[in-house]
Amino acid sequence: MPDSPIAVEPHSPELRHHFADMEQQREASSLGMWLFLATEVMFFGGMFCAYLIYRLWYFPEFAAASKSLDITLGTVNTAVLICSSLTVVLAVRAAQLGKRHDQVVYLALTLVLGLAFLGVKGVEWTSKFKEHHIPGASFHFEGTVPGHPDQPVDQQHAQIFFSLYFAMTGMHALHMVIGVGIFSYLLYQAWKGRYTPDYYTPLENSGLYWHFVDIIWIYLFPLLYLIDRKK
Amino acid sequence: MFETFPLWPARASTTAGSVDALFIFLVALSALMSITIFTLIVVFAVRYRRRRGVPAEQIEGSTPLELIWSIIPLGIFMVIFVWGAVIYFKERTPPRGATEIYVVAKQWMWKLQHEEGQREINELHVPLGRDVKMILTSQDVIHSFYVPAFRIKQDVLPGRYTTAWFHPTKAGTYHLFCAEYCGTQHSGMIGQVVVLEPAQYEAWLSGGGAAGSMAATGQNVFLQLGCATCHRSDTQGRGPNLVGLFGKPVQLEDGRVVTADENYVRESILAPGAKIVSGFKPIMPVFQGLVSEEQLNALVAYVKSLNQNPSGAAGGPAVVPSGAKPQEQKVQ
Amino acid sequence: MATAAITAERENYLNQEYGIKSWLLTVDHKRIALLYLLSITFFFFIGGFFALLIRLELLTPAGDLVQADTYNKLFTMHGQVMVFFFLIPSIPAVLGNFLVPLMIGARDLAFPRINLLSWYLYIIAGIMMLHCMLTGGVDTGWTFYTPFSTAFSNTKVIEAGLAIFVSGFSSILTGLNFVVTIHRMRAPGMTWNRLPLFIWAHYATSIIQLLGTPVIAVTLVLVVLERALHLGIFDPTRGGDPLLFQHLFWFYSHPAVYIMILPSMGVVTEIVPCFTRKRIFGYKFVAMSSIGIAVLGFLVWAHHMFVAGISLYAALIFSMLSYLVAVPSAVKVFNWTATMYKGSITFSTPMLYAFGFIGLFLMGGLTGLFLSALGIDVHVTDTYFVVAHFHYIMVGGAVMGYLGGMHFWWPKISGRMYPEALGKLAAMIVFIGFNLTFFPQFILGYLGMPRRYWQYPPEFQVLNVLSTAGATVLAVGYVLPMVYFLWSMRYGKIAPANPWGASGLEWTTTSPPPTMNFERTPIVDWEAYDYENIPAPEEARVAG
């Protein structure tokens, strides 16, 4: 069989030696991140599935519970996350253009926005705690079924809404925290000048992760906050 | 087969015959397939064992062969599917007019109650040659009601009713097992089903200390809990009229139409807000935690009985002869 | 390769570096494979020990060896350990890790550090599981149905659930690594249609690992939350639905069984051509059948729920789909058999395991047809019939495939030959012991003996005694290879690069291979299973 030597041409210091060249490394990393995101879709999908089933069965209670969520804060958070996805894209663009300073600025902005999201979430959850909407021994949901002022909501059904609400937003928040950790690391590395037009794969792939977490929120927000709001 | 070393379960219901027939067919089919493949392998192994100077013949494949041995098995599988489905369909469709037994499973025993009122623990007496339908629920975890001799099994769930039915064809005593792992004494949740000749069954039924039929008990509960205040037989009641309700479609206020079966009656008592009948207000109190499973069963039996005794809901104490004959299932 | 023993040992992945750090911090896929080999063997014997205790208890109808609660923990932990800590990793993490890069002509997997992380996650999960077992154990059954597991069991459900959650991560990362590697790191000329079918099988397995495992992960999260915080998602007394749990659980756990069998099928598809000296019959069909099993396997989960309270119509659909998924498996059996036609067959130990696999997988698969038939399933579900069915596939199938693969690639992995006579003996002991253990259980199941029973009616005793007798024989069959593999590492004959005259790039390297696998990147211009151009081994002390 014909021989072919190992590549010994000059290569980027970032090339890991089990890869033949940077292109293969880049493609492999990208495919890896996309596959990982597919697993995340399945993960969140399980909870979405449970949510959709119970919403179908317990619609009045879900509508009442949804109304008790703070739509202003939810909208603010949605805007915050969308902006943060923008800053991520701009950071990647800055790397492509070799602009170290801009990278750092945009990554820092992303972090700030991410932390802002978590802060607003904290505020929301605190108010839920005060209203006794956290599932458990002291759960109590005041209120009636929307459109039926004489019908109190079934406490169990309302509690299931909140169980799923906290499970889903909690999982999402956990992913945000991990994202903040990753982007802190990226900020540090970007500041050290590691990402150049020849090598910005970690930025790109982490960006994919961040966009994914954003998209999960884009689904969570209407599903959880906007049930039956027109009334 | 053998007394101490059986190889085949007793066959004691109409279903058992059908299930065994399909099983035997599948055993024969499997034996045929296995013997064919094993024989081919052995023959090839011997005939084509390595011999000097005789190389292997490189054969790429054969698309026609691949199609044949995909499509023919698929065809056979579809036959098996339909055959199994037909049996299952019959198993899942209890016949009308069956004798009803209410079963409450709990860790780790079976509580059974006949319509006539007889209660049994871990033992079920049934008459030979009559359809028997069981309405099952659990007080705690998931159990499963399994009578191998009848070839029936049905998971028993907390919070709702499931049903199963059988038609015994052979007198005798048969194992009753719990077949869904339920904790420490799962393997101790064993009982028996005793199939009696009709005359013996009547004797058994009248011999027990029945405290009144389930429907009569149900009527008592109905009165005790104040149900009659709103559920009256005229149209003046604040709640829907229950006479003639059971088994019929009900229009709900959100537009849906549901059937008033056992689960509907149960849910209406425990979580009345879930389904509001069209034209009525959602004012029925919640009875979750205020009625036991046995009381629920009795109420269900009572509501069923209203299909035959319209004056039952109008109040007035019920006169209940003890040891009622099975033919007179509904009592005033 | 020279027939004389190599006195000066060439540098290979085993001797390149010594010391515990070089093993615990390795990123070499071959060393990681061995790390996995040690760990899964450990858990196999733990799970096997539990099985022996179960079978000993079942010698008599009365519960007289252990208490009922203990017995319930034994079968629970036997299932959890065997499924999550042995079967699911086994072939992919040991043989897959070792061979995937070699077979495709790559120097390592796409993400070597993630590979190591995968092993550490497995170890962490294993430690959590061991801790759980040693401090009380868990008694929910490996299927941990609600509401028993969330609201009634008094055992360490949360800890076991978290252990399995972590092990799931390990599985996902292995799958991810394989898919990316197979897509992106094939050597020049190694097209998809030239890949060994072992690779196709692992590709299909990895897809299932990626898409299925997250669902059990989220199910475990919900169960843990429910149990810890008394939520009501699966508890009817709090407005929840226990059947929702079952759907979520089986959505993963059914495809999981294909994770456990597909790699074995891949192994058999490598062994049979080698010992018949012919290319596999119907390469494309076998490749497509692996993909078909993976896809269809996601559509049949509720066949575990026919008596659970699902609707009649759902049951009909899932029964019909279950018959569809049986077709690609049948196709594989026919293709293996057809490969033997006009072959030139020898009966080495790997080939004996392959024969055993084909026969036992066939029987297990045929009994799957019984279970998919709704009317039959009502009678035999939750009985020993199901137990027998899945052990035929998992043990008669998957474990025999694993052992066959271990014997086939042992020379490559260790550089030594195992003792052939003992290998054949162990294979036959395993085959006999297996059938004696599990065939009586089909009869027990149809008779009506439910599963998970600590005590049972006396008329079931004779069959139970036969089954236990078989288990002891089976145990001997499993211990033997442990012993002689270890023995061979010091005293076994030195293995040449290709003792079997097998096709595949892994056989073009030395035994054991060098750390970087290939001195020069291979360029492939030949088809898979190129047996007409590969001479049978002269050194054949392995002919039957």
- C neighbour chains, 3+ CB pairs within 8 Å: A, B
Is B86 within 8 Å of chain A by CB?
A: no
The CATH code for residues A22-225 is 1.20.120.80
Give bridge partners of residue A94 from the DSSP assignment: none
Quick one: which H or E segment has residue B165? strand B162-166
CB contact under 8 A, A150 and B274: no
Q: Cα distance from B153 to chain A (closest Cα, Å)?
A: 27
Q: Which residues contact A154 (CB under 8 A, 6 or more apart)?
A: A58, A61, B271, B273, B274, C239
Question: A56, A57, A141, A148: best mutation site toward chain B, by most B Cβ within 10 Å?
Answer: A148
Best residue of B253, B258, B263, B276 to probe chain A, by most A CBs closer than 10 Å: B276
Name the residue ranges covered by the structural domains of chain C.
27-533
CA–CA gap between residue C467 and residue C228 (Å, rounded): 40
List, for residues B277-321, the tens digit of each pLDDT value.
998 888 888 898 899 999 999 999 999 999 876 554 434 333 333
On whether the CB atoms of residues A88 and A207 are closer than 8 A, the answer is yes
Hey, what are C227's tokens? 């149990």
pLDDT at B246 over 70: yes
- Read off the pLDDT of residues B85-117 as tens digits, 9 standing for 90 and up: 999 999 999 999 999 999 999 999 999 999 988
Sheet holding B172-178, edge to edge: B123-127, B191-196, B172-178, B143-147, B152-156
Give B-chain residues touching C273 at CB under 8 angstroms: none
Contacts of C296 (CB under 8 A, 6+ apart): C321, C324, C325, C328
| Alpha-carbon gap: B298 to the closest alpha carbon of chain A (Å) | 25
Residue C301 is encoded by which pair of tokens? 């989960």
Confidence grade of residue C7 (pLDDT, cut at 50, 70, 90): very low
Q: Please name the chains neighbouring B, where neighbouring means 3+ C-beta pairs under 8 angstroms.
A: A, C
Contacts of residue C226 in chain A, CB cutoff 8 Å?
A: 163
**Interface probe with B: pick from C144, C283, C307, most Cβ of B within 10 Å:** C307
- Average pLDDT (C380-389) is 98
In the DSSP assignment, the letter for residue C529 is: S
The minimal CB distance from C180 to the residues A32, A43, A49 is found for A32
Q: Which amino acid is at B284?
A: M
In angstroms, how far is CA B263 from the centroid of its own chain? 13
- Point out the residue among B29, B33, B179 whose CB comes nearest to the CB of C450: B179
Contact criterion met (CB < 8 Å) for B282 and A151: yes
A199: DSSP letter: B
Residue C375 distance to chain B (closest CA, Å): 5
ipTM tops 0.90? yes
Nearest to C188 by CA among A22, A25, A4, A30: A4
Q: What are phi and psi of A199, to 5 degrees?
A: -150, 100
Verify whether the Cβ–Cβ distance B56 to C343 is below 8 Å.
yes
pLDDT band at B1 (very low <50, low <70, confident <90, very high): very low
Is the CB of C525 less than 8 angstroms away from the CB of A42?
Answer: no
> How does pLDDT run across A108-128, given as a tens digit for each residue?
999 999 999 999 999 999 999
DSSP β-ladder status, B132-138 and B99-106: parallel
pLDDT at B219: 92
Residue A47 at interface with chain B, using a CB cutoff of 8 Å: no
Q: What CA–CA distance (Å, rounded) separates C237 from C226? A: 13
Report cis status (omega within 30 of 0) of the bond before C92: no
Q: How far apart are CA B315 and CA C322, in angstroms?
A: 54
| Mean pLDDT, residues B248-276 | 91
Peptide bond into A125 cis (omega under 30): no
Q: Is the pLDDT of residue B329 over 50?
A: no
Q: Say if the Cβ atoms of B282 and A154 lie within 8 Å.
A: no
Find the mean pLDDT for residues C282-307: 97
pLDDT tens-digit series, residues B126-143: 999 999 999 999 999 999
Question: How far is the C-alpha of C459 from the C-alpha of B7, rounded, in Å?
Answer: 10
Mean pLDDT value across residues C319-348: 96
C338–B78 C-beta distance less than 8 A: no
**Lowest-pLDDT choice from B282-296, C49-63, C181-195:** B282-296
Domain C27-533 adopts which CATH fold?
Cytochrome C Oxidase; Chain A (1.20.210)
- Please tell me the predicted confidence (pLDDT) of residue B234: 74
The pLDDT of residue B327 is: 39
The 10 Å Cβ neighbour count of residue B32 is: 11
Smallest CA–CA distance from C526 into chain A, residue: A1
Backbone φ and ψ of A24, nearest 5°: -65, -40
**Helix (H), strand (E) at residue B114:** strand B109-114
Q: Radius of gyration of chain A from Cα atoms?
A: 22
pLDDT on residue C2: 46
C52-79: average pLDDT: 96
What are phi and psi for residue C52, nearest 5 degrees?
A: -65, -40
* Helix, strand, coil percentages in chain C from 3-state DSSP, rounded to 5: 70, 0, 30
Average pLDDT over residues B144-171: 97
- Comparing alpha-carbon positions, the chain A residue that sits nearest to B276 is A151
> Across the strands, what pairs with B136?
B103, B162
- A136's tokens: 């458990």
Tell me whether A154 touches chain B (CB under 8 Å): yes
Q: For chain A, give the number of residues.
A: 231
C-chain residues within 8 Å CB-CB of A43? 214-215, 217-218
Q: Do A32 and C222 touch (CB under 8 A)?
A: no
Q: How far is C428 from chain A (nearest CA, A)?
A: 40
Say which residue, A227 or C240, is predicted with more confidence: C240
Please tell me the predicted confidence (pLDDT) of residue C538.
60
Q: Is B60 strand, coil or helix?
A: coil
Cα-Cα-Cα-Cα dihedral of B74, B75, B81, B82, to 10°? 160
Is the separation of the CB atoms in C288 and C252 below 8 Å?
Answer: no
Using an 8 Å CB-CB cutoff, list chain A residues near B281.
150
pLDDT at B332: 33
Judge: C232–A4 Cβ closer than 8 Å, yes or no: no
> CB distance from A149 to chain B under 8 Å?
no
Task: Determine how many CB atoms are found less than 10 A away from the CB of residue A125.
Answer: 17
Containing H/E element for B176? strand B172-178
pLDDT at B240 over 80: yes
CB pair distance less than 8 Å for C248 and A49: yes
- Are C378 and B61 a contacting pair at CB < 8 A? no
**pLDDT given at position B165:** 97
Q: Do C238 and A49 touch (CB under 8 A)?
A: no
- Inter-chain residue contact B45 with C457, CB threshold 8 Å: no
Does residue C167 or residue B287 have the better pLDDT? C167
Average pLDDT over residues B42-54: 92
Quick check: helix, strand or coil at residue C525?
coil
Residue indicated by tokens 């479609």 = B249
Note whether A3 contacts C520, CB cutoff 8 Å.
Answer: yes
Question: Domain residues of chain A, as ranges?
Answer: 22-225
Of C107, C179, C233, the CB nearest to A163: C233
CA-to-CA dists, residue C440 to B6, C249, C436, C469, angstroms: 12, 29, 7, 11
Which amino acid appears at position C209 of this protein? Q
Residues of chain A with a CB closer than 8 angstroms to some CB in chain C: 1-6, 16-20, 24, 27-28, 31-32, 35-36, 38-40, 42-47, 49-50, 53-54, 58, 135-137, 154, 156-157, 159-160, 163-164, 167, 171
* Mean predicted lDDT score pLDDT of chain C: 95
Decide: residue C377, CB within 10 A, 0-12 exposed, 13-18 middle, 19+ buried.
buried
Peptide bond into B95 cis (omega under 30): no
pLDDT (0 to 100) of residue B207: 74
* Cβ-Cβ contacts under 8 Å, C248 against chain A: 46, 49-50
A5, A53, A136 member nearest C229 (Cβ): A136
- List phi, psi (to 5°) of B216: -70, -45
CB contact under 8 A, A135 and C229: yes
pLDDT tens for each residue of chain A, 231 residues long: 344 455 556 778 889 889 999 999 999 999 999 999 999 999 999 999 999 999 999 998 999 999 999 999 999 999 999 999 999 999 999 999 999 999 999 999 999 999 999 999 999 999 999 999 999 888 999 888 877 777 788 899 999 999 999 999 999 999 999 999 999 999 999 999 999 999 999 999 999 999 999 999 999 999 999 987 775
Contact C238 A159 (CB under 8 A): yes
Backbone angles phi, psi at B194, to 5 degrees: -110, 115
Angle at C24 between CA C20 and CA C25, to 5 degrees: 115
**Tokens of residue C164, six digits:** 């399995």
Number of inter-chain CB pairs under 8 A, B vs C:
280
Query: C214 and A39: CB-CB below 8 Å?
Result: yes
Cα–Cα dist B332/B320, whole Å:
7
Looking at chain A, which residue has its C-alpha nearest residue B283? Answer: A151
Backbone angles phi, psi at B229, to 5 degrees: -60, -40
With cut-offs at 50, 70 and 90, classify the pLDDT of residue C9: low
Mean pLDDT confidence for C418-446: 97
Q: How far apart are CA B252 and CA B274, in angstroms?
A: 10
pLDDT at B254: 83
Domains of chain B: 99-207 (2.60.40.420), 214-314 (1.10.760.10)
Which candidate from C278, C369, C373 shows the least CB-CB separation from B58? C278
Q: Which amino acid belongs to residue C79?
A: G
Which one of C157, C369, C387 makes the best mutation probe of the B interface by having the most chain B beta carbons within 10 Å?
C369
The 3 state secondary structure assigned to B138-163 is: ECCCCEEEEEHHHCEEEEECECCCEE
